[in-house]
Structure 1
Amino acid sequence: MRDPPAQPLPRLTTLAKLLAADYWIVLDDVQFTRRDYQHRARLAGIGAPLQRQWLSIPTHLPGGRWTAIRNAQIVDPMRSRRRTMQMLRQYFGSSPHWPALDQALAPVLDLFTTTDKTADVTEASTHILLDLLGWKGQVLRSSQLAARPGRTQRLADLAAVTGARSYLCGTGGMTYLETSLFTSCGITITPFRTPTTGGWDSGRAFSALRALMILGPTALADALRAVAANQDESRTVA
């Protein structure tokens, strides 16, 4: 199980963890954080990896800094839609895999005209990548599930709701999680490590779109599943 907030067009490392899990619990009721990946993605060119640019969804916080992610609002949705499409075509339109992505993006772009919520667009953008890679898991939202307060306790309770046997945790989370709160629920914390060479050297910095447009959905899905298979054998999830 994994439970990060939704990210627009997530990074390769995030996508790898989601593809390895059976459940993705979207943290939609935690505090929105500006200048984070909750409303922006960093793009890198296909043939020019040093060509880099942030693709951001300008976001208004109606409740100030304490606004929950699910309540954050898009500023000027139509302008954000145009800019999103223009930048994605600029960076990836030359790829032979662009037509498949272009078609998959259509419902995400339509959301800019039907919702003012940043989270709706970011979650949908992750969905389409998972769909292209053949993910068969289930998506839940933390706002709809019961969990006790406390950073680790909350994550442990959310994992327990799904009946998970394992919680996939990145290297950053391993530094603060109280493992005993998971083990008391019968859940193993499985460190999720991705390679650091090849196309993975920038996997934590850039959107997975670059790898998708270079390799194509089938080859990228195979590569990500190979990474998942190399994790600790206890990574089995419910």
Structure 2
Amino acid sequence: MPETLSCAVHQPNLFPRLSTLAKLARADVWVVLDDVQFNARDYQHRARLAAAADPEAQRWLTVPVHRPRGRDSRIGELRLADPAATHRTMSRLVRQYYGRCAHWAETGEIVEEVLAALALNEHLAVVAEVSVRAMLHRLGWRGDVLRSSELPARDGRSERLADLTAAVGASTYLCGPGGAKYLSERPFLDRGLQVRYPPPPPLSREPGMRTASALWAFAARGAAGVRDALAADCVPAR
């Protein structure tokens, strides 16, 4: 365990984008933000599959969910609306998009882990977290994963992030481009914490890659290729 830890706080995203994956891979600790309000327009229950030959040609892979408290439902409360149908759709679509790619074998292993999670539980957050873990594992990441619902934190946006960073014993918070738009550093400074803004990896800035799931990169380049593409900006923890 390094003396100085870095922390990333992010919702569990289904088959995350490269920029999200890179931020988490830079961190020593990923705090899964599972106790905030579900956003149906975000990437928590869906991913954009990019065509193998044309990454700008994309379609949504969506996991239908049941919100037990309507719009007030938290991410961790969401249940899979039809796990069996989702299993069939996910298996068919991902193979349709990437089954002929050079690195389908290892990409298919990532998908199989998620399909197994679909069969074993009924919560979206668990399934999405498995998809992230499966990718991080193949990048050689050996960090820790904790959940915000199990940690003490205040309600304010930046206050919550600062509290979560301190709660896991980290001294540095890694902030992505989206969070940089609203983040206030004051709560971090008050707790003696640092904020870093690592840039998105160059690969994520190529056509189509800003919105596409990292599945495309794994299928086209393999885990080693993705790791190399992120290496300049992203070093696995520990």
Q: Please, what TM-score do these two structures have when normalized by structure 2?
A: 0.91
Is the CA contact (8 Å cut-off) linking 2:19 and 2:204 kept in structure 1?
A: no
CA distance in 1, matches of 2:201, 2:150: 34
Matched with 1:203 is 209
Q: Structure 2: state its 5+ residue gaps.
A: 1-6
1:49-88 equivalences in 2 (<5 Å): 49-88=55-94
Is the CA contact (8 Å cut-off) linking 2:17 and 2:211 kept in structure 1?
A: yes
Q: What displacement does 1:101 show?
A: 2.1
Matched with 2:140 is 134
2:121 equivalent among 85, 110, 115: 115
Q: What displacement does 1:180 show?
A: 1.2
Query: Is 1:188 aligned to 2:188, yes or no?
Result: no
Q: What displacement does 1:95 show?
A: 1.3
Matched with 2:185 is 179
CA distance in 1, matches of 2:206, 2:30: 22
Is the CA contact (8 Å cut-off) linking 2:172 and 2:194 kept in structure 1?
A: yes
CA distance in 2, matches of 1:25, 1:133: 18
1:1-238 equivalences in 2 (<5 Å): 1-195=7-201, 200-228=206-234
Is the CA contact (8 Å cut-off) linking 1:41 and 1:207 kept in structure 2?
A: yes
Aligned letter for 1:118?
L
Is the CA contact (8 Å cut-off) linking 1:194 and 1:200 kept in structure 2?
A: no
SS in 1 for 2:140: coil
SS in 1 for 2:47: strand
SS in 1 for 2:52: coil
Name whichever of 40-49 and 9-18 sits farther off.
40-49
CA distance in 2, matches of 1:24, 1:204: 21
Is the CA contact (8 Å cut-off) linking 2:188 and 2:194 kept in structure 1?
A: yes
Is the CA contact (8 Å cut-off) linking 1:111 and 1:121 kept in structure 2?
A: yes
Is the CA contact (8 Å cut-off) linking 2:201 and 2:230 kept in structure 1?
A: no
Name whichever of 20-29 and 194-203 sits farther off.
194-203
Q: What displacement does 1:199 show?
A: 5.8
SS in 2 for 1:129: helix
CA distance in 2, matches of 1:16, 1:73: 28
CA distance in 1, matches of 2:230, 2:201: 10
Say if 1:188 and 1:28 are closer, same or farther in 2 by CA, change over 3 A.
same
Q: What displacement does 1:175 show?
A: 2.1
SS in 2 for 1:172: helix
CA distance in 2, matches of 1:121, 1:151: 25
Number of aligned residue pairs: give it.
Answer: 232
Is the CA contact (8 Å cut-off) linking 1:19 and 1:224 kept in structure 2?
A: no
Identity of aligned residues (%): 42
